[in-house]
Amino acid sequence: MVMTKTLKFKNNEVIKKSDIPVVEFNEFMLMVSDTHYRVANLFINKEEEYRNNLYAVIADDKNAELHIVGTIVGNEYPSLTLRRPSVHMFEREIYENYGIRPAGHPFLKPVRVNDGYEFLKSDDLQSHEVAVGPVHAGIIEPGHFRFLCQGERVMHLEIQLGWQHRGVEKMLKKNPNIWLAESLCGDTTIGHSMTFARGLEALSGMKVCNRAQTIRKIALEMERMAIHIGDIGAIAGDIAYLMAANVLGVTRTLVINTLLEISGSRFGKGLMRIGGVNFDIDEELKGKVVSMLEEVDNRVTEMCDAMFANASVLSRLENTGMVSTKKAEEIGMVGPAARASGVIVDSRIYNDYKDFTPVSAKNGDVWARAYQRVLEIKQSKDLILEMLDELDGTLETPEIKKEYAPNSMCITLTEGWRGEIQHVITTDKSGAIEQYKIKDPSFHNWFGLALAVRNNQISDFPVCNKSFDLSYCGFDL
């Protein structure tokens, strides 16, 4: 369906809420379900008492265009999931937060609330359940995994999260600050703090100098490289290929130690500020970054060439945890997990990356999700080198403005290392923040992990889990 009754807008553009077309629900349903474009968000914004504005953000990833359209719903509306499965999580979240029921939803279970959660049961006497968590033997965060198995084969997996609900969206609405934004998800400090800063800058009309914008993107790509390197090492560790686990663990440290030299934090905390960045990259530091990139590229190439040529490694990774292109697209997967299944979605196309083309491993198994990271590490290295060459001008620090455009909305997309981060900020008639909504890429991809382990051995779950490497806290906002 052609997007004729939507408002077309750019990433991080401030739009007036009154300019957003509001259509009848049946027309809205057709626009959401029949379009071949991606539904990037579906959310409620209560702009008036007793008025539930349901908005859909639709992404045309081929042409890097965003569209938004709205409708008014009561306390119940016909579920869109039956026609567009990728919105199933959005509808469940809306029901949980507002009590607005998507009638006919096939899987209307809690997203972050644990009370009364009912797992799928089987009357087959050959089936049994395996419960894991929410307390785990290690330092990972809390989450409950319920496997329904026949022997060692996983027939169904349900993932129950919500054990650490922090209420950060409400806190950001009341007191928007960069320190909270960079703590939304500990391994995505740059991704979330950058998205937060850009949204508030747009709403307050602040201009960020080119040098600061370039430094932000350099740090974002360094964060991507560091986590991807660590993830390949973690996958190697899960299949007892300890040489790669050790070498890549050390190699990751080279990247985060360089972030430490830039910002004073190995995870980039303190780098971002409203209006730009707190730290510059001078010529000496630029040389250190270039040397680090060359060293990392050599180590990753040498180690991963050996790893992915090893027969025992391939026997564990290939055809394990398959997610087909069709399934990945249907459930709305994003990030490297989606690209590894052949779904080419990458929000960097919306963020002025020069001549950027996403890379894809395509196979859809654990091997593809591991090798996808190799491809992206090399791509990030090239992007950083290009941006370092373009790093000119002086670093400016404009005065922070706390007055925001009234009756407006700003939607900001950033491609974090897990995939698309999206922050939605709306303001009321006085310019006060009316709603702050966050979408971490894990919101889309936990269900992808559940599908990946179907018909696999339960012993394959750890390596499948590592190949997605999703966030508990990023999901549980």
Residue 3: predicted pLDDT = 63
Average pLDDT over residues 334-338: 98
Backbone angles phi, psi at 80, to 5 degrees: -85, -15
Between 139-148, 336-345, 439-448, the lowest mean confidence (pLDDT) is in 139-148
Distance CA 148, CA 119 (A): 9
- Answer yes or no: is pLDDT of 220 > 60: yes
End-to-end CA distance of the chain: 34
Residue 425: predicted pLDDT = 98
- Kindly list the distances between the CA atom of residue 16 and the CA atoms of 7, 23, 55, 69, in Å, as whole numbers in the listed order: 10, 16, 14, 12
- Answer yes or no: is pLDDT of 1 > 60: no
Q: What is the share, in percent, of the chain residues with pLDDT greater than 90?
A: 88
What CATH superfamily classification does 168-475 receive? Answer: Cytochrome-c3 Hydrogenase, chain B (1.10.645.10)
Average pLDDT over residues 253-263: 98
Averaged pLDDT score across all residues of the chain: 95
Query: How would residue 198 be classed by pLDDT, with cut points 50, 70 and 90?
Result: very high
Distance CA 56, CA 352 (A): 24
Enumerate helices (H) and strands (E) in the chain, giving the number of each: 15, 15
Residue 385: predicted pLDDT = 97
What CATH superfamily classification does 7-103 receive? Answer: NADH:ubiquinone oxidoreductase Nqo5 subunit (3.30.460.80)
Per domain, the residue ranges of the chain are 7-103, 168-475
The 10s digit of each residue's pLDDT in 82-119 is: 999 999 999 999 999 999 999 999 999 999 988 878 89
Give the angle 361-215-380 at the CA atoms, nearest 5°: 15
* Pick from 106, 109, 104, 23: nearest CA to 68: 23
Query: How would residue 257 be classed by pLDDT, with cut points 50, 70 and 90?
Result: very high
Contact 234, 246 (CB under 8 A): no
Report the predicted TM-score, pTM, of the whole model to 2 decimal places.
0.96
- Answer yes or no: is pLDDT of 412 > 60: yes
Query: How would residue 18 be classed by pLDDT, with cut points 50, 70 and 90?
Result: very high
Q: DSSP code of 393?
A: S
The 10s digit of each residue's pLDDT in 342-365 is: 999 999 999 888 789 999 999 999
Average pLDDT over residues 249-277: 97
HSE toward the beta carbon, residue 380, CA cutoff 13 A: 30
| Structural tokens at position 4 | 């004729």
Residue predicted with more confidence, 83 or 137: 83
Contact 436, 43 (CB under 8 A): no
- Answer yes or no: is pLDDT of 431 > 90: yes
3-state secondary structure of 446: helix
* Pick from 87, 52, 148, 129: nearest CA to 435: 52
Distance CA 276, CA 420 (A): 21
